[in-house]
Amino acid sequence: MIKKIGILLLIVIGIGAYLGYSFYAKIKKPNTIKKGFIYIKTNATFNDLINEITPFIKDNKSFKWVANKKKFTTPKPGKYQIKKGMSNNSLINMLRIGKQTPVKLAFNNQHSLEKLAGRIATQIEADSIQLLQSFTNKEFLNKNKFTQDQVLGMFIPNSYQIKWNTSADQFRDKMLNEYHKFWNKSRLKKAKKLNLTPIQITTLASIVHKETAKTSERPIVAGLYLNRLQDKWPLESDPTIIYAMNKKYGKDLKIRRVLFKYIEETKNSPYNTYKQPKLPPSLIAMPDISAIDAVLNFKKHDYYFMCASITKIGYHEFAKTLAQHNRNRTKYINKKNKQGIKK
């Protein structure tokens, strides 16, 4: 009798040990089989989570069981890093508290709001339509004194740490905050000294940016345009003519040489700086920080003219007089003609 009781007791203990280990294994044993990221959308259901996480785990039944025991039914949206060997318990804890991995969002050289929205939409949950609607919201523009054409200047090209599930409005408002940080007391003081607003500085910087990719040359180009503005001369910037042509036809035209006919065709455009002796009303591109700072820290000189160099590719020949400029220009035109570049 005693022997039977002992055997029965051992069986009970064995069953208890097995159940205990089974529970422990479901909760604590590694269940992820590879590393990667999952993206949980706003308003996602538990089933949506299962579909997203299944490729990363070897046993989704145990995951569901632990989730049920922990009363975990509603995942928080975001981007989550899955590490190989994570347990169901650690996975659920991460998803329950929303311990997501930030996105390192970056953008530069996005020359329109549409292109910017498309670029951002590849990096966060908000889609390009939501972003574009947010950027052009009339109430937002009026409150912050931007026109729809000017608001591109609010976005400072850089890298930013942000949550993947950031909404379109949240992203826009973060960029406004970064814009005000960028325009600190030092930059505002320099802009005021030039009698230009931050948007006007950015507008001029966009022209400088398009004129030259050489950062070392940008302060010289900026100084040239500031000389012209001060003396009320037209800027006569070729990139503004290309922009005016693109705006007129609603598409990116493949223009490599700015011809007189393009200048005449866009003579009524406020972006035609051959006809208008002032800054355009808004940016012609998204300038990078070096171009903005080149305007604020321009180089003082007596240059009023510039022409692409035929000896130093990518650079320019600067001139103080029209006669000197015409000589440089003739050399450039002759070279382009020899290369067969007609437009």
Closest alpha carbon to 261 in 245, 240, 280, 281: 245
Ranges of H-type helices in the chain: 2-28, 46-53, 60-69, 88-97, 113-121, 128-135, 138-143, 168-182, 185-193, 198-211, 218-230, 238-249, 260-265, 289-296, 322-339
Task: Return the structure tokens found at 223.
Answer: 């100084």
Per-residue pLDDT of 94-111, as tens digits, reads 999 999 999 999 999 898
Per-residue pLDDT of 142-198, as tens digits, reads 999 999 999 999 999 999 999 999 999 999 999 999 999 999 999 999 999 999 999
Please check the confidence at residue 205 and state whether its pLDDT lies above 50.
Answer: yes
Confidence (pTM): 0.86
* pLDDT greater at residue 341 or residue 180: 180
Asked if residues 126 and 41 have their Cβ atoms less than 8 Å apart, the reply is: no
Other C-beta atoms lying within 10 Å of the C-beta of residue 99: 12
Per-residue pLDDT of 295-338, as tens digits, reads 999 999 999 999 989 888 889 999 999 999 999 988 888 887 77
Q: For residues 204 and 226, what is the distance between their CA atoms, to the nearest angstrom?
A: 9
Say how many CA atoms lie within 13 Å of 258 toward its Cβ: 22
- Looking at every residue in the chain, the average pLDDT score rounds to 91
Proportion of the chain above pLDDT 90, given as a percent: 80
Q: Is 117 helix (H, G, I), strand (E, B) or coil?
A: helix
Listed by start position, the domains of the chain span 2-97, 108-182, 185-339
